[in-house]
Structure 1
């Protein structure tokens, strides 16, 4: 009886959804929200607005919703299994939130679609909003709030996006596009690049670059439908007040890591005869880098984050260096441990050059580690 009730309820919901139709006066728009100042908002956001004056409908659909109350939230976030979902709100509430609370610019592009195409998009959104369909496994580069909307538009207007001619959206890797939206000298930028593996360095084509809301907006502005622009009107819903640009951060990764590296060079030269001091220093240094290496290795091998796999940084932050430091830091003149340290230095140096080519900050992260491995290897005494 319970299953019969569920089946009946599902049929009723489906019937109600199927009968829900937009009028000829309705319009469908792409709404692009500018990047914000918090990490989760650095890359902007995108929505589909469905407006129908005949029924008073004015919804903003978003594929970027998640719930902090999800069981084991942080573990699922770390593992890449946190479910995201489609949600909608009244457009007036969305506009009020982003303008009054986050001070972020909102731009709207009204699409020149016929009634069937508008209803196709609306029905797709309503179908996706059903409880059994609304949740999905979020992928930052491949399946996010912008790519899902891109796919819906392409299904409703096949061939409208001339991807092959959009040279402005080509030529950069996923990582390069990401870094355009991150503060160049911030810890979060260094950390995110450290966690990314080689899949993030694949060159994205024009369609793939639309994982970023701004790029989807650009592509939509260039799209053509029946030899006419896909966008029939575009305007700014809210213009944010400009925020003052940040000053140079003395506690940022560049000054801190360079200072640590210089101090390590000085101590390694000045106190080479005081083995106890340098031994304790090595324990602390390799402990910190070892924990970081374990985290990066975990992200690369034991999570669903495909873009973190094949991470060259694992060879810089070699995880086993931490437990082994108790032996190689004390016995680095011993034949076996001397060979180990030299091999570790060469591998870390080559990996840091490769990683630094992909993002300069990764070489800077490696510097303190390279300094101590270099002195432990006794290359300087030759």
Structure 2
């Protein structure tokens, strides 16, 4: 019965014609504190007081209660959906719970364009259409709305005509929203492959809600000036994190270098170091080859850390002379990987330096 009523409600809304007082509003939600909300959110609000229509559409929503949630998220198969609420509900949720600011921009569209957008949004809400494969850079809450507007008002909003949104890669734009000295930031960059280094056009950079709002605002006469519905809470700026990756990995590198120089690095330490690095390399290799996350493919971090270091460390670290060819080969791979990773995101070098130091030392052992 509930499914029937849901389908009936969507059908009625889809067939409704908007009045001349109807508005289509782009609403940009500020970044939140959690990782899944760190890049902001985009909502498309259809408001028609004459016909009593108040529908705020969001793409990129998901359910934490989905069966095998973490496995599907890891594999890139987690179903994402479009959802709809009243704008008052969205406002209350962000004001009271998320504490995230909201900015609204009314789009200047004619009646045909407004109705076409409404029809498309309601069609997407149908049970057979509402789920889709989410892509962080290419198909998310912001790009879906950008494409929806472009489809129904082609050429009206020149997303590509904003020079301030050009020149950065997808990775660069992502890192703008992440803390620099953070394990999460380092981990996300380690997981991303070369596709994330592609220079995004101004239109492609609109995968971020703030950029979509900026590009929309640039279209003079086609959108009203942004209006703040409410401001986000002031965020305390944290000082330097002495437990962050820069400090911890630097200390590890110095320790490995000192013990290697003194010939005091035991086999057990080699076993631990190469095992951890090797398993991390296998995980990165898995993300790039066995999941639906295409932006994780062709990852030089796999070259820098090299998966075969585990389990081969059990043999070569005990007898490096016998494994001299392997150690020399992996040392070359490590150099290439470190340079490549450094060009992409220089802090990744910190992950590769300890293993590189040990490979260099093992490769020079004579007896």
TM-score normalized by structure 2?
0.95
Return the match for 2:250 from 258, 261, 278.
Answer: 258
Question: Do residues 185 (structure 1) and 173 (structure 2) align?
Answer: no
Question: Do residues 43 (structure 1) and 39 (structure 2) align?
Answer: yes
Where do 5+ consecutive residues of structure 2 fail to align? Answer: none
- Which residues of 2 match residues 233-382 of structure 1 at below 5 A? 233-270=225-262, 272=263, 278-334=266-322, 337-378=323-364
Query: How far apart are residue 54 of structure 1 and its match?
Result: 1.4
Counterpart-to-counterpart distance in 2, 1:178 and 1:113 = 31
Counterparts in 2 of 1:88 and 1:164: CA distance versus 1, 3 Å: closer
Name whichever of 150-159 and 16-25 sits farther off: 16-25
Question: Do residues 170 (structure 1) and 196 (structure 2) align?
Answer: no
Counterparts in 2 of 1:210 and 1:164: CA distance versus 1, 3 Å: closer
Counterparts in 2 of 1:250 and 1:9: CA distance versus 1, 3 Å: closer
Query: How far apart are residue 12 of structure 1 and its match?
Result: 6.5
Counterpart-to-counterpart distance in 1, 2:204 and 2:182 = 26
Name whichever of 140-149 and 118-127 sits farther off: 118-127
Query: How far apart are residue 347 of structure 1 and its match?
Result: 0.9
Q: CA RMSD in A?
A: 1.9
SS at structure 2 position matched to 1:109: strand
Residue of structure 2 equivalent to 1:29:
25
Number of aligned positions between the proteins: 364
Question: Do residues 110 (structure 1) and 114 (structure 2) align?
Answer: no
SS at structure 1 position matched to 2:82: strand
Counterpart-to-counterpart distance in 1, 2:92 and 2:38 = 19
**Contact 2:10-2:125 at 8 Å conserved across structures:** no
Counterpart-to-counterpart distance in 2, 1:135 and 1:254 = 40
Query: How far apart are residue 13 of structure 1 and its match?
Result: 7.2
Counterparts in 2 of 1:50 and 1:9: CA distance versus 1, 3 Å: closer
Counterparts in 2 of 1:302 and 1:27: CA distance versus 1, 3 Å: same
- Which residues of 2 match residues 127-206 of structure 1 at below 5 A? 127-206=123-202
Query: How far apart are residue 17 of structure 1 and its match?
Result: 4.5
Counterpart-to-counterpart distance in 2, 1:359 and 1:44 = 23
Residue of structure 2 equivalent to 1:55:
51
TM-score normalized by structure 1?
0.91
Query: How far apart are residue 114 of structure 1 and its match?
Result: 1.6
Name whichever of 254-263 and 66-75 sits farther off: 66-75
Deviation digits for residues 63-99 of structure 1 (CA, Å, limit 9, x no counterpart): 0210112122111111111110000111111111112
Counterparts in 2 of 1:114 and 1:367: CA distance versus 1, 3 Å: same
Counterpart-to-counterpart distance in 2, 1:264 and 1:359 = 23
Counterpart-to-counterpart distance in 2, 1:50 and 1:358 = 41
Query: How far apart are residue 15 of structure 1 and its match?
Result: 5.3
Deviation digits for residues 96-130 of structure 1 (CA, Å, limit 9, x no counterpart): 11122121110000111122211111111111101
Residue of structure 2 equivalent to 1:74:
70
Return the match for 2:223 from 231, 253, 256.
Answer: 231
Where do 5+ consecutive residues of structure 1 fail to align? Answer: 1-5
Residue of structure 1 equivalent to 2:85:
89
